[in-house]
């Protein structure tokens, strides 16, 4: 499958819009009689027609006469398959091949459609997790300050406060993005931009998570012993 996924739709519309006059115009522009090359495929032993007869075949009034025009074919059939795909059948008499193009709706782009409730529940769960993390950070900081530990206590705590606080700010930013997605879940469900918004928020959130996976052993585990 390649090219424009809506090719089938445009193709049929364009073919159906064509009139015999369009074809005559195109033929008049493209096929000039003086440029014609005539090839004859004849059974062996057939008597060759004289050149006057052959030339007469190439005359415009002959070529454009209705009996030389291809018969109008029936409309191109479009069959709706059970899975939601469309099967478009085109005849190409030049080649003994069948060409099939399929377009499927799939992936994240269509997933949240009609699932606003599910999306909303999961965003709330993410917000609750973010709030729990924030609460644990604030408890931790207040405990440190109460014990007289500040960013200037020593170089470990300088790094500890700096790294965890910058990470914490990113968690808060992620929660703002999640809250925004949550507030738009109803209004924008099924809107083409909404899944992109969700994807970007999810990527940001998990990247902040990924950073924490390294900050946690660095600041909390490696120094324990």
Contact call for residue 117 and other proteins (CB under 8 A) = no
User: Least distance in Å: CB of 173 to other proteins?
Assistant: 17
Going by the DSSP 8-state scheme, the letter that residue 76 receives in this structure is: P
Contact call for residue 156 and other proteins (CB under 8 A) = no
User: Least distance in Å: CB of 208 to other proteins?
Assistant: 10
Site string for other proteins, 3-32 (x = CB under 8 A): ------------------------------
User: CA angle 187-193-196, nearest 5°?
Assistant: 115
Contact call for residue 187 and other proteins (CB under 8 A) = no
Contact call for residue 174 and other proteins (CB under 8 A) = no
Site string for other proteins, 196-215 (x = CB under 8 A): ------xx--xx-xx--xx-
Which residue has tokens 């999640």?
178
**Radius of gyration in angstroms for the set of CA atoms belonging to the chain, rounded to a whole number:** 35
Cα–Cα distance, 44 to 93 (Å, whole number): 25
Residue 159's SS3 state is helix
168 contacts: CB under 8 Å, gap ≥ 6: 134, 137
* Site residues, other proteins (CB under 8 A): 202-203, 206-207, 209-210, 213-214, 216-218, 220-222, 224-225
């Amino acid at each position: 499958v390649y090219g424009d996924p809506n090719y089938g739709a445009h193709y049929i519309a364009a073919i159906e819009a064509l009139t015999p006059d369009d074809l005559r115009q195109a033929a008049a522009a493209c096929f000039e009689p003086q440029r014609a090359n005539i090839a004859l495929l004849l059974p062996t032993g057939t008597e060759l027609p004289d050149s006057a007869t052959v030339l007469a075949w190439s005359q415009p009034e002959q070529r454009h006469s209705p009996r030389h025009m291809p018969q109008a074919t029936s409309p191109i059939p479009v069959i709706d398959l059970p899975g939601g795909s469309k099967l478009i059948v085109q005849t190409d008499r030049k080649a003994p091949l069948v060409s099939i193009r399929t377009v499927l709706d799939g992936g994240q782009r269509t997933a949240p459609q009609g699932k606003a409730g599910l999306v909303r529940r999961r965003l709330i769960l993410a917000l609750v997790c973010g709030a729990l993390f924030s609460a644990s950070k604030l408890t931790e900081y207040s405990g440190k300050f109460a014990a007289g530990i500040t960013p200037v206590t020593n170089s470990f705590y300088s790094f500890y406060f700096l790294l965890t606080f910058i990470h914490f700010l990113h968690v808060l930013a992620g929660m703002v993005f999640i809250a925004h997605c949550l507030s738009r879940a109803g209004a924008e469900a099924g809107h083409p931009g909404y899944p992109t918004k969700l994807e970007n928020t999810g990527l940001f959130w998990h990247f902040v998570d990924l950073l924490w996976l390294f900050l946690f052993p660095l600041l909390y585990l490696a120094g324990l012993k």
